[in-house]
Chains A and B, each alone.
Chain A
Amino acid sequence: MAQVELVGIRKAFGPVVAVEDANITFEEGSFTTLLGPSGCGKTTLLRMIAGLESPTTGDILVGGRRVNDIPIHKRNLGLVFQNYALFPHKTIGENIAFGLKYRGVPKEDARKKVTEALNIVRLPGVEERFPTQLSGGQQQRIALARAIVIEPDVLLLDEPLSALDANLREEMRVELKAIQNRIGVTSIFVTHDQSEALAMSDRIVVMSAGRVEQIGTPELVYNRPASEFVTTFLGNANILSGTVKALNDGIAELEVPALGSLYAMLEASERQQVKSGAPVKLSIKAEKLALEDQRTAEEHDTVLTAQVRDVDYQGQVARYFLQAGNQALQAINQIDERPHTVGADVSVRIRARDCVILPA
Chain B
Amino acid sequence: MGWNLIRLYAVAVYIFMFAPVAVVLLLAFNSSQFGGFPIEGFSLQWFEKLYENEAIVRAFKTSFVLGIGTAILATTIGILASLALVRYRFPGKAWITTFLISPVLVPETVLAVGLLLFLRWLSMPRSFALLLIGHTIIALPFVVLVVQARLVGIRKDYEEAALSLGANPLQTFFQITLPLLMPAVFAGALFAFTISFDNITATIFWRPAGSETVPTQIFGMLRNSVSPEINALGFVMIVITVGVPLMAGGLARYFTRKKR
Contacts and interface: CB of A to CB of B under 8 A. Distances in A.
Given A87-B176, A89-B179, A102-B171, A73 B166 contact: yes
Given A87-B176, A88-B180, A89-B179, A52 B160 contact: yes
B163 A73 contact: yes
A89 B157 CA distance: 14
B183 to A, nearest CB: 11
B180 A102 contact: no
B167 A73 contact: yes
A126 interface: no
Interface stretch (A77-85, A204-212, A306-314): A77-85
B161 interface: yes
Contacts of A50: 160, 164
B176 A73 contact: no
Interface string A136-158: 00000001001100100000000
Contacts of B162: 87, 98
Contacts of B259: 130
B223 interface: no
Contacts of B164: 50, 72-73, 75, 77-79, 147
B162 to A, nearest CB: 7
B260 A81 contact: no
A147 B176 CA distance: 17
Given A73-B163, A99-B165, A102-B167, A81 B157 contact: yes
Given A102-B171, A130-B260, A85 B165 contact: no
Contacts of A147: 164
Nearest to A79: B164
A103 interface: yes
Most buried by A among B157, B169, B260: B157
A88 B153 CA distance: 13
A146 B165 contact: yes
Nearest to B159: A85
Interface in B69-87: none
A67 to B, nearest CB: 13
Contacts of A98: 162, 165, 167, 175
B158 interface: yes
Contacts, number: 64
A79 B259 CA distance: 27
A85 B180 contact: no
A76 B166 contact: yes
A98 B162 CA distance: 8
B257 interface: no
Contacts of B224: none
Contacts of A81: 157, 160-161
A83 B155 CA distance: 10
Interface string A168-182: 000000000000000
Contact of B158 (A71, A72, A87): A87
A52 B260 CA distance: 33
Interface in B142-190: 155, 157-158, 160-169, 171-172, 175-176, 179-180
A79 B167 contact: no
A75 B167 CA distance: 11
A86 B176 CA distance: 10
A52 B172 CA distance: 14
A89 B169 CA distance: 18
Nearest to B162: A98
Contacts of A130: 259-260
| Max chain A Cβ within 10 angstroms of own Cβ: one of B158, B161, B260 | B161
A73 B259 CA distance: 29
Contacts of B260: 130
Nearest to A94: B175
A7 B42 CA distance: 86
A129 to B, nearest CB: 10
Contact of A83 (B157, B166, B180): B157
Contact of A85 (B161, B168, B169, B179): B161
A232 to B, nearest CB: 32
B155 A102 contact: no
Contacts of A74: 166
A79 B160 contact: yes
A110 B217 CA distance: 59
A150 B165 contact: yes
Q: Could you say which of A75, A79, A86 has the most chain B C-beta atoms within 10 Å of its C-beta?
A: A79
A79 B165 CA distance: 8
A356 B260 CA distance: 59
Interface centre among B166, B167, B180 (most CB of A within 10 A): B166
Interface string A86-114: 11110000000011001100000000000
B161 A102 contact: no
Contact of B166 (A87, A99, A143): A99
A136 B117 CA distance: 59
B155 A72 contact: no
Contacts of B166: 73-74, 76, 99, 102-103, 150
27 contacts: A50-B164, A52-B160, A71-B163, A72-B160, A73-B163, A73-B167, A73-B169, A76-B166, A81-B157, A83-B155, A83-B157, A85-B158, A85-B160, A87-B161, A87-B162, A88-B158, A88-B180, A98-B165, A98-B175, A99-B165, A102-B165, A102-B167, A102-B171, A130-B260, A143-B161, A146-B165, A150-B165
Interface of B: 155, 157-158, 160-169, 171-172, 175-176, 179-180, 259-260
In the complex, the 6 A-B pairs of residues with the closest C-beta atoms, listed nearest first: A99-B165, A102-B166, A85-B157, A79-B164, A85-B161, A72-B163
